[in-house]
Structure 1
Amino acid sequence: MSTHLPSSSAPEPPMNEPDVRFLLVPLPTFNMLPFGSFLDKLRFSADDEDYSRQKYCAWDVAGLSEGEVVSSSGVQLSIPLSFKHVDLAQYDYVVVFGGRSAGEMKAMAALYQSFFKQAVARGTTLVAVDNASFLLAELGLFAGCEVAVHWRHQQEFETAFPTLKVSSDQLYCLDGKRISCVGGSAVIELAIELLAQKCGRERALKGLADMLVDETRNRQHYLKSLGHESNQAHRHNRHISRAISLMRQNLSVSLSIEALAVQLGLSRRQLDRVFKTELAISPREYWAEMRMDHAHWRLQNSFFSLSDIANEVSFSDVSYFCKVFKKHFGYSPTQLKKDGKVH
């Protein structure tokens, strides 16, 4: 895959200096969806009509070295520019696209330390997309900042960086010279926000129809598809929607159902009744299943210890966690790690 854009047969007017410049840094196993979505939004806003010239905004793609970087889907992206040849003074934003594994992002942070410290010294704004937030946090570059983290990795991030303020209910978070985005298609809204600040909102919105995007989402957009896909009824009940959101935010907290009901402005009996009526399950059972599903996913997709994962789902006793896990799935956490069972 090449980032070089095709030439156009349209007349070439004198090119003005772009209003904003981006340096895009895809990390190993980066996800194609956020990278492609962000880049295409820049492309549509960069020129008049659909000529794809870097006229109003410009970008380069860089990495540790020139060559190829492999995405999470196995598609290779050509990296034409190595960090040693980057002049950071030319860029307003360094946008880092994280890889599939948060643990791997943390592990490779030291390799990127020198470059990102130089960017900070230059006053360049750093943008972490998806799991790139783990790499920048590991380098201490999110100190004192609020960080938008994908809901799937919220507990993992909070375990790894307990002093940082985490938000999983925002598509992106602007905190001075540090910006974070949960990834996926949320990068479209982030790109619009950044372009609007430098190029104006009209140009920032250009091309959305071509991308088949009807409208931009609010920064605190609630993702309707969260929750069990087999249970659609909660989408139509605000109490259940809010309860599930609070459950997800408090996976690691031993919060009682009574306390959850109080936060919702309901009695315990009312909360039990609405869950039983619409989901045919009690809130306690729903929360327990959510915790086990999260632990199962983390065991397959992280390098954290059993103790850390147990704490993420509110178990302080690892042996009791293993007992509950085996009762729920029919096999132990150790067997899952060893045999790679899929639930």
Structure 2
Amino acid sequence: MTSNDATVAKRLKIGFVLARSFTLSAFALFVDTLRLASDELDKSGRVRADWQVLGNTRHLIASSCGVQVAPTSGLVEPTQFNYIVVVGGLLNSENPIDDETVSFLKKAAARKVPLIGLCTGTFILADAGLMGAHNVCVSWLHHRTFRERFPDLKVRSDRLFNLDRSRGSCAGGSSAADMAAHIVRLHISKEAERNALEVLQIDKARSQLHVQPRKPLAIESNDPRLNAALIIMEQHTENTISIPELASSVGLSRRQLERLFMEKAKMSPALVYRKFRLERAKHLLTQTDASLIEIALEVGFESAGHFSRIFSRTYGQTPSKLRARQLN
């Protein structure tokens, strides 16, 4: 075998499954990172990596923005790929992939081929029963929906992506390039990763520990621990967590978390958390017909009376008056 043959044999190989109404930007950033890592500069040769868009037909697949992509391969033997990446898109798309493709993914899982959910592709893998016992990362935008649909799965939305043994998940958007760069570094080289990022005009790939760019309650901070805590608070206005649990989830003691919040947000974590719960209550008051006691319990208050007192003190009007004004 020549050195060139050996390089081809060791190529990083990735198969893509595109859902109906898939997110074009996430797919494009992932595959372009592979393309640029595969060769020198912008030559685009498939020297160190190869990729295929898999499908059981050659029909065009429409993305959520309307641009269509044609499959380049059938549902071939999955073990020829290092990873199979499922690119999701609009959650209101019925049957995002067909039954034959679902069976293909189950076959790949049975043969120990790592599966990655990109954007809402994680929903597709979870629907197929392929994310059990694995940690899941989704966008903050989809966290509540994922938790409602898959209450038995562990999910977080304060990270960009996660590679958990034989499963991966990625929040989507620009983090698709970060996850692809991580895989390139693992399977090809740091030099290949650097070439891809430089051509893409990306200064540095973010790691899977990087916090999703989100500023709940418009609190500005460049501290990733505080930003992660804010996102976790926002996603736990119903099934509330204690401040010690919150601190532990971001790698701090309760005392350290309280000092961090007082320094950066000028408020205690308990007060900030209460603001999140009250904002959720305002949404429920104006967008649902749930009773006051139902809303109070849902956002972590023990009684409707206690909820009403805190709400009135914060917003200058009772929950009932706010609801009545919205109806007029």
Normalised to the residue count of structure 1, the TM-score between the two structures is: 0.71
Which residue among 259, 278, 284 is the counterpart of 2:274? Answer: 284
Which residue of structure 2 aligns with residue 26 of structure 1? 18
Aligned: 1:46 with 2:38: yes
Deviation by residue 1:135-178 (Cα, 9 ceiling, x = unmatched): 11111111111111111111221222122111222222112211
1:122/1:79 Cα in 2 relative to 1: closer, same or farther (>3 Å)?
Answer: same
The 8 Å contact of residues 57 and 71 in structure 2, kept in 1 or not, is answered as yes
- Which residue pairs with 1:181 in the alignment? 170
Structure 1 residues 132 and 24: alpha-carbon distance in aligned structure 2, compared to 1, 3 A threshold: same
Relative to structure 1, is the Cα distance of residues 113 and 275 closer, same or farther in structure 2, using a 3 angstrom cutoff?
Answer: same
Q: Does 1:251 find its partner at 2:237?
A: yes
1:104-253 matches, within 5 Å, as 104=93, 110=99, 112-228=101-217, 231=218, 233-235=219-221, 241=227, 244-253=230-239
Q: Which moved more, 1:323-332 or 1:242-251?
A: 323-332
Deviations 1:294-314, CA, capped at 9 Å, x for gaps: 9999x9xxxxxx99xx99x93
Whether 1:66 aligns to 2:58 is yes
On the 8 A contact 1:27/1:63 being kept in 2, the answer is no
Pairs aligned (count) = 299
1:50-95 superposed Cα distances (whole Å, 9 cap, x missing partner): 2111111001112242111111112122223343xx2323212111
Query: Secondary structure, in 3 states, of the residue corresponding to 1:184?
Result: coil
- Residues 325 and 331 in structure 1, CA contact (< 8 A), matched pair in contact too: no
Contact 2:35 2:44 survives alignment (8 Å): yes
- Aligned-pair distance for 1:41? 0.3
Shift of 1:200: 2.1
Cα distance change of structure 1 residues 295 and 237 upon mapping to structure 2, 3 Å threshold: farther
Is contact 1:239-1:264 (8 Å) kept? no
SS in 1 for 2:46: coil
Relative distance call for 1:136 and 1:239 in structure 2 (3 A) is: closer
Q: 1:294 to 1:97 in 2, by over 3 A?
A: farther
Counterpart Cα distance in 1 of 2:55 and 2:286: 33
TM-score with structure 2 setting the length: 0.74
Q: How far apart, CA to CA, are the structure 2 residues paired with 1:294 and 1:18?
A: 54
Where structure 1 has 5 or more consecutive residues not aligned to the other structure, the ranges are 1-12, 300-305, 333-343
* Contact preservation (8 Å) 2:135, 2:164: yes
CA apart distance, 1:205: 2.6
Q: Where does the alignment leave 5 or more consecutive residues of structure 2 unmatched?
A: 305-317
**Residues 105 and 132 in structure 1, CA contact (< 8 A), matched pair in contact too:** no
* SS of aligned partner of 2:182: helix
Of 256-265 and 199-208, the range deviating more from structure 2:
256-265
Asked if the contact 1:109/1:136 (under 8 Å) is kept, the reply is no
What letter corresponds to residue 130 of structure 1 in structure 2? C
Question: Which whole-Å CA distance do the structure 2 matches of 1:239 and 1:47 have between them?
Answer: 37
Q: CA RMSD in A?
A: 4.3
